[in-house]
Structure 1
Amino acid sequence: MTETGTRRADWTGRPLRWLRILRDDLCTARPDPLPPSVWLRWLPHGVLCLAAFGITVGGIAQLRNNGHLGLGLAFVLGLAQGAAVVLAMWRPVPAWWVSVGAMLVGAVALRGRLGETPENLFTWPWPVAGIFAQLLVLLLLALRVRVRAAVEALAVTVLVTWLLDGVWGAPPHQSTSVITVVLATIVVALGTALRGRREARAELGRQASLTEEERARRTVLEERSRIARELHDVVAHHMSVISIQAQVAPHLVENPPDELRENLEGIRHNALEALTELRRVLGVLRSENPDEDASDASGTGPHSPQPTLDRLDALVENTRAAGLTVTARINGERRPMQSGVELSAYRIVQEALSNVLRHAPGASAHVEIEYIPYGLLVSVANSRPTRPAPPSPGAGHGLLGMRERAAMLGGSLTAAPRADGGYRVFAELPAAAPGTGLVPRHPAAPASGTDRAPDPKDDHV
């Protein structure tokens, strides 16, 4: 096919394509209910029903008295105009067809009666009640359909009005064509603008929700990366010790056999390889969080030794220096715990005290650590704040990070308000990591002495 033939076929097919689009947009009966309002949920529906009743009564009276139509036809046309407004609250496109159809039937029926009373010219082709009905229907349609469909409905309305009044014509009458077209255009523009504003607000709400979800996801990933980095540091320390011990062990035995030397050399080699891999992982984690590379005075930087419960007193003193009244107590027989357990306990206390400083001004805090046979219990409680808390710039995911730490060790963490208006964070950290085969005693089991898990509802302040 030549280029000229292609262009001719394209121009020939365009009207058919436009007709298909027009059919898809306006030849539909799909429901599109008017949503309830925010403040008074059904007020718009009530107002529209009252307007529909007024249009029906006014339309029947106008068609009967001024148009001199029979009571039956006037009643049907007036009822159709009012019913179109009510129908538009649920199915705007069929309601628009009902309104236009009622206008066409009424215009044809009134055309032969125009001019019978020259002193009282009748409004034609749109009666006054029909104008109000069409404007309300177009407004409801523009609020809930696509802009293209609303413009198409307006174009068909203008075309039908022009064909009746401009082409077909009628005896002397009071023309309502211009005022109907102008008002219909204004109404469609207003409805389209309101619909665009509503869609923009809905999209903004969706974007805000997605942003909040992304922020929460990023916070979880950052906290897990931090936890993984700290625990890898602990494992790296132990691997270094294993490597050194494997290197020194042959010198502690007089004339060690070759098999022992080979086994120890293999242990040392595997430990060094594991240590190299751990350091590589740590390098990746630190490169993704460059802002955390600088060490601070408290020694929480990534290159500083990871804190344990031995530094709990220093943490409490630093918190007191910040203006918070803190008391601390350690119950049970103190014993060394796994590095990950002590690190997580320290971080939970640190985060809980930070939350008290930020969110409970004027309150006092009490820290309690209890050593029990199967692990460690951590409790941080604060009293009722004495003044409102200032706005906090934080992301609001401190509790999420603490729960991640406890869950990673196979423990649990609860945080809830107290009856006296304060708040309490309670963590249970097992001494053995998950998968080691050591089953901790359930905290609800009976115990005595220091083997008692404190109830989260107890008041230790």
Structure 2
Amino acid sequence: MRGLPRTLRGLPRTLRADLLTSGAEPDGRAGAPRWLEWRPVIAVPLTLLAVGMLVLATNQYAFHYRTGVLLGILFAGAQSVSLVVALYRPVPAWWTSLLVMVAVTPFAAQAHQGDVFPSNGVSVTGVPGGPAFPWDGASVAQQAGSLFLLALRVRPRIAAEALVITVLAGLVCGAGVPRPGGGDLRLALLVLVTTVVVGAALGGLGVARTRLVVQEERTAEERARRTLLEERNRIARELHDVVAHHMSVVSIQAQVVPHLVDNPSDALRENAEAIRRNAVDALTELRRVLGVLRSEEPLTEAARHAPQPTLDRLDELVGNARGAGLAVTVTVSGERRTLPPGVELSAFRIVQEALSNTMRHAPGSAVRVEIGHRPSGLTVRVTNTAPQRAVPSSAGAGHGLLGMRERAAMLGGELATGPTPDGGYEVTAILPARSADGPVGPAEPAPRTP
């Protein structure tokens, strides 16, 4: 009760902010319902309905309320057009409907002067069978339509304010106009209230669904971003072992250098020692980086110290896939040469991920693994035929294709994936490499799947 005076004092300001606006979304709420995209389609039947109401309302205003044909067309046209405009500007359309009702009131009051309504409710003088003003059939339908479209677009509070103002204005306008009883009034009030309640409920449901869709899209984006970060962390942990191995070799070789020279100079000893210290410091920093990137689920001791795989273990990988029931054939072309450990590791992981994806998404298919050694680098192609049986789609974004793409991009290579004409799937990666003799030319472009 203490806040009631403050609420009443702020009521004019609230009504002005809510209802004195020409915007499409007067309440400014986010998550507009998606049915608004269909407004051009909805406007077609609504326009036909407005034309029918124009004819009925013109006859009512011109002959029942004696406004004359021109004013009757003007009043009826304004109300009919406002019904279509309410799809785009609900508040101005509602105000138009309300102002037409107020403007017609003097004509209706003058037309009903001298009418007599006996107990059966039929006018015996003046306008025979005159409608109950202001909510006769055409008018109540038009106002109900405007309020419904308004309630679909605004907050329930604004819809309730518009309903109260409409009812109060209607009662005031109809106070001086005789009516044949209160039946029509009660029915009109029931129609208006029901329309606003249903419109507000449907509008809230539409906004809730839209916000749910937006939230699901954001969740999917966050999940994809988290998956990307997890995969990059995993790749970084694997590359740590490769880099650490090289730095360890550098440290050992720097320590051995002075012993390979007879009577090494002091400058040679100092430079070799500086190289060894820098290598040790680099190893320390690498361990710190690995500590930052470590998984929430730490690896076992055996997995932590296991060497990173290379293409030398390809036969073991293919053997495991065949043991799981996958028909795999391997083709190696080109002259095999020593490749950087990062390229070997990435090639192995790409084949591993491709085989895992085939077992999950294409059970019973035949797989062909092709390894091509080229002067510019390494080509990895894994192709599977169509699955022999359907499998349920997996929810969420996996690490397979994402990890392949990240590994290829890390090396400056390319990755092409996509379905094949026979219903299978193909993964092709071009991994540029630096040979033992020095740098090579740019990688050949990845072939695209037709």
1:40-439 correspondence to structure 2 within 5 Å: 44-64=42-62, 66-67=64-65, 70-114=68-112, 115-118=114-117, 119-120=122-123, 122=130, 123-165=132-174, 168-171=175-178, 173-175=180-182, 176-286=184-294, 289-291=295-297, 293-294=299-300, 301-392=303-394, 395-432=397-434, 438-439=439-440
The separation in 2 between residues aligned to 1:398 and 1:12, in whole angstroms, is 61
* 8 Å CA contact 2:432, 2:442 repeated in 1: no
Alpha-carbon distance change, 206 to 13 in structure 1, aligned in 2, over 3 angstroms: closer
The separation in 1 between residues aligned to 2:110 and 2:331, in whole angstroms, is 101
1:450: which partner in 2?
none
1:4: which partner in 2?
none
* 8 Å CA contact 1:36, 1:42 repeated in 2: no
Structure 1-normalised TM-score?
0.83
1:397 Cα offset (Å) = 4.3
1:177 Cα offset (Å) = 3.8
The separation in 1 between residues aligned to 2:449 and 2:68, in whole angstroms, is 82
* 8 Å CA contact 1:124, 1:174 repeated in 2: no
- Structure 2 counterpart of 1:293, one-letter code: L
Alpha-carbon distance change, 63 to 411 in structure 1, aligned in 2, over 3 angstroms: closer
Alpha-carbon distance change, 428 to 170 in structure 1, aligned in 2, over 3 angstroms: closer
The separation in 1 between residues aligned to 2:42 and 2:415, in whole angstroms, is 49
Secondary structure in structure 1 of the residue aligned to 2:297:
helix
User: 1:250-279 CA deviation, whole Å, 9 max, x = no partner?
Assistant: 344454333332222222211111111111
1:76 Cα offset (Å) = 3.4
Alpha-carbon distance change, 423 to 149 in structure 1, aligned in 2, over 3 angstroms: same
Alpha-carbon distance change, 242 to 191 in structure 1, aligned in 2, over 3 angstroms: same
2:22: which partner in 1?
29
* 8 Å CA contact 2:430, 2:443 repeated in 1: no
1:345 Cα offset (Å) = 0.4
The separation in 2 between residues aligned to 1:455 and 1:91, in whole angstroms, is 54
1:113 Cα offset (Å) = 3.1
* 8 Å CA contact 2:66, 2:107 repeated in 1: no
Identity of aligned residues (%): 50
1:147 Cα offset (Å) = 3.0
1:20 and 2:13 aligned: yes
The separation in 2 between residues aligned to 1:278 and 1:72, in whole angstroms, is 88
1:451: which partner in 2?
none
- Structure 1 counterpart of 2:87, one-letter code: M
Secondary structure in structure 1 of the residue aligned to 2:392:
coil
Alpha-carbon distance change, 70 to 395 in structure 1, aligned in 2, over 3 angstroms: closer
Alpha-carbon distance change, 243 to 56 in structure 1, aligned in 2, over 3 angstroms: same
Q: Which deviates further from its counterpart, 170-179 or 154-163? A: 170-179
* 8 Å CA contact 2:412, 2:432 repeated in 1: yes
Alpha-carbon distance change, 339 to 177 in structure 1, aligned in 2, over 3 angstroms: same
1:51 Cα offset (Å) = 2.4
Q: Which deviates further from its counterpart, 383-392 or 66-75? A: 66-75
Point out which structure has higher relative CO (alpha carbons under 8 A, 6+ apart). 2
1:338 Cα offset (Å) = 0.7
The separation in 1 between residues aligned to 2:204 and 2:304, in whole angstroms, is 50
Alpha-carbon distance change, 258 to 67 in structure 1, aligned in 2, over 3 angstroms: closer
- Structure 1 counterpart of 2:297, one-letter code: D
* 8 Å CA contact 2:413, 2:443 repeated in 1: no
Alpha-carbon distance change, 304 to 116 in structure 1, aligned in 2, over 3 angstroms: same
1:440: which partner in 2?
441
Secondary structure in structure 2 of the residue aligned to 1:139:
helix
Secondary structure in structure 1 of the residue aligned to 2:17:
helix
The separation in 2 between residues aligned to 1:364 and 1:313, in whole angstroms, is 17
Secondary structure in structure 2 of the residue aligned to 1:185:
helix
Structure 2-normalised TM-score?
0.85
The separation in 2 between residues aligned to 1:342 and 1:192, in whole angstroms, is 63
- Structure 1 counterpart of 2:299, one-letter code: D
* 8 Å CA contact 1:239, 1:275 repeated in 2: yes
2:29: which partner in 1?
none
User: 1:428-456 CA deviation, whole Å, 9 max, x = no partner?
Assistant: 111129xx983424537xxxxxxxxx966
Structure 1, unmatched stretches of 5+, are 1-6, 445-453
Alpha-carbon distance change, 374 to 224 in structure 1, aligned in 2, over 3 angstroms: same
Number of corresponding residues: 431
* 8 Å CA contact 2:33, 2:207 repeated in 1: no
1:85 Cα offset (Å) = 1.6
* 8 Å CA contact 2:419, 2:449 repeated in 1: no
The separation in 2 between residues aligned to 1:202 and 1:36, in whole angstroms, is 7
The separation in 2 between residues aligned to 1:150 and 1:244, in whole angstroms, is 80
Alpha-carbon distance change, 261 to 369 in structure 1, aligned in 2, over 3 angstroms: same
User: 1:3-51 CA deviation, whole Å, 9 max, x = no partner?
Assistant: xxxx9xx968963x53233233323333569999599875532332232
User: 1:138-169 CA deviation, whole Å, 9 max, x = no partner?
Assistant: 0011112333332221121122123334xx54
1:302 Cα offset (Å) = 4.0
1:408 Cα offset (Å) = 0.7
